[in-house]
Amino acid sequence: MNKNSIKVAVLGVSGYSGGELVRLLLDHPKFADNPPLLLGRSGSEAVALTSLQPQLSGLPHADELSVVPFDWKLLQEEGVEILFLATPHEQSREDVPAAIAAGIRVIDLSGAWRLRHEANRAVYKLTDADPTAAAQLQSEAVYGSPELHAEQIKTARLVANPGCYATSIILALAPLVRANLINLDHGIICDAKSGVSGAGKAPTPGTHFMYAADNLSAYAVFGHRHTGELLEQLNLDASQIQFTPHLLPIPRGILSTIYVRLASPGSIISMQSCFDEFYADAPMVRVRRSPALPQIQHVVRTSFCDLGFQLSPDGQRLVIVSCLDNLLKGAASQAVQNMNLMAAFPESEGLR
């Protein structure tokens, strides 16, 4: 596949990630004349896109587009080639087999298909109508981290788009893990902080302005659902990595501060090279020159993951800081990056 545009559809446009995904697609050069088909599962009537996502008004096509009730027949009539799912986990687990069966490739933004091992997946409490088929589909699902799995993504039928926290941590650690530079006996500490949009659009006590504003809190200390992604993608066991998320009083953005002990003393130059070389061809990762460190303000509303590090004077302890926008590189932009690879568009098209 290598053409000027393809037909894509988005199921689930009312949440934050779905809204950002639509924004990116409307602004994407390849869809200037071929806007995505927008689908919803609630209600039996079409509704104006801008009634669900008023901030999109003014973007190309936005004021004419409707979100129409989901219908498999419609997808096939429209010739949809790639379907984005910005739906709850359970819904994604149910819809993906049908989509694949219908010959439609899927980029799933939920956590339903990210985890290869059933034990890791248990946190999602998923059930499958046809467990054998689901298991087979799971085994071919590609974890949608373009920096790690670009070749498989290009031809994948099912791409499981990574979690936001997981993306920030995996991109920070992958270069070091692949080069065997970390002393894993000492354990890796990942102290991560996320803006409130990561908690979703549903009004809850924890997303109330009065709870989140002027506050900081840790949560899910030994049990966050993204932990399984870290273990599988970095090939670690649970005792080797500790991940603690915190809720920041800001709308969006993640900053992860990651602490590792090196297997043997390193130099700033060798560490810098490790990151620089690993991401030499990665258009959506920016590696800072040590001692410069990323900040949330420089990645918010961008599709980049920014990485930086500092090394202790004895060369043994490394502190890595990783920043991204949880709704973009942590969700919608990464989905578009995967689509670009699947459709043989330039990897960063529509993302800068």
Size of the site for its own copies (CB under 8 A): 66
Residue 82 sits at the vertex; the CA angle it makes with 78 and 86, to the nearest 5 degrees, is: 105
Place of tokens 């899910």: 220
Tell whether residue 168 is a contact of its own copies (CB under 8 A): no
Compute the least distance from the CB of residue 210 to its own copies, in Å. Answer: 6
Q: Which member of 33, 44, 132, 205 binds its own copies (CB under 8 A)? A: 205
164 is catalytic: yes
Tell whether residue 193 is a contact of its own copies (CB under 8 A): yes
DSSP-based three-state secondary structure for 40: strand
Compute and round to an integer the Cα radius of gyration of the chain.
Answer: 20
d(CA 45, CA 68): 7
Q: Which member of 4, 41, 208, 281 binds its own copies (CB under 8 A)? A: 208
For strand 142-143 and strand 158-160, is the pairing parallel, antiparallel, or unpaired?
parallel
Q: Please say which residue, 14 or 34, places its beta carbon nearer to its own copies.
A: 14
Q: Are 275 and 288 in contact (CB under 8 A)?
A: no
Q: Which member of 64, 201, 265, 273 binds its own copies (CB under 8 A)? A: 201
d(CA 336, CA 6): 13
d(CA 6, CA 347): 15
Q: Please say which residue, 166 or 293, places its beta carbon nearer to its own copies.
A: 293
Tell whether residue 319 is a contact of its own copies (CB under 8 A): yes
Q: Which member of 246, 263, 270, 315 binds its own copies (CB under 8 A)? A: 246
Strand partners, 8: 82
The distance of Cα 70 from the centroid of its chain, to the nearest Å, equals: 24
Segment near its own copies (CB under 8 A); pick from 84-92, 167-175, 272-280, 301-309: 301-309
Cis-peptide into 291, omega within 30 deg: yes
Tell whether residue 61 is a contact of its own copies (CB under 8 A): no
Tell whether residue 214 is a contact of its own copies (CB under 8 A): yes
Tell whether residue 352 is a contact of its own copies (CB under 8 A): yes
Q: Please say which residue, 152 or 244, places its beta carbon nearer to its own copies.
A: 244
The phi and psi torsions of 260 (rounded to 5 degrees) equal: -130, 150
Q: Which member of 34, 261, 263, 349 binds its own copies (CB under 8 A)? A: 261
Tell whether residue 69 is a contact of its own copies (CB under 8 A): no
**191-200 burial code (b ≥16 CB/10 A, e <16):** ebbbbbbbbe
Q: Which member of 61, 232, 317, 349 binds its own copies (CB under 8 A)? A: 317
13's CB contacts (< 8 A; 6+ apart) are: 19, 21, 22, 38, 39, 40, 49, 52, 53, 67, 86
Q: Which member of 189, 268, 270, 349 binds its own copies (CB under 8 A)? A: 189
d(CA 83, CA 44): 20
DSSP character string of 262-298: BSS---HHHHHHHHHHHTTT-TTEEEPPTT----GGG
Tell whether residue 266 is a contact of its own copies (CB under 8 A): no
Tell whether residue 314 is a contact of its own copies (CB under 8 A): yes
Segment near its own copies (CB under 8 A); pick from 37-45, 75-83, 119-127, 288-296: 288-296
d(CA 298, CA 88): 30
Tell whether residue 7 is a contact of its own copies (CB under 8 A): no
Just list the catalytic residues: 164
Which residues lie near its own copies (CB under 8 A)?
16, 54-55, 57-60, 186-187, 189, 191, 193, 196-197, 201, 203-205, 207-219, 221-222, 239, 242, 244, 246, 248-251, 253, 255, 257, 259, 261, 286, 291, 293, 295-298, 300-302, 304, 310, 312-314, 316-317, 319, 321, 352
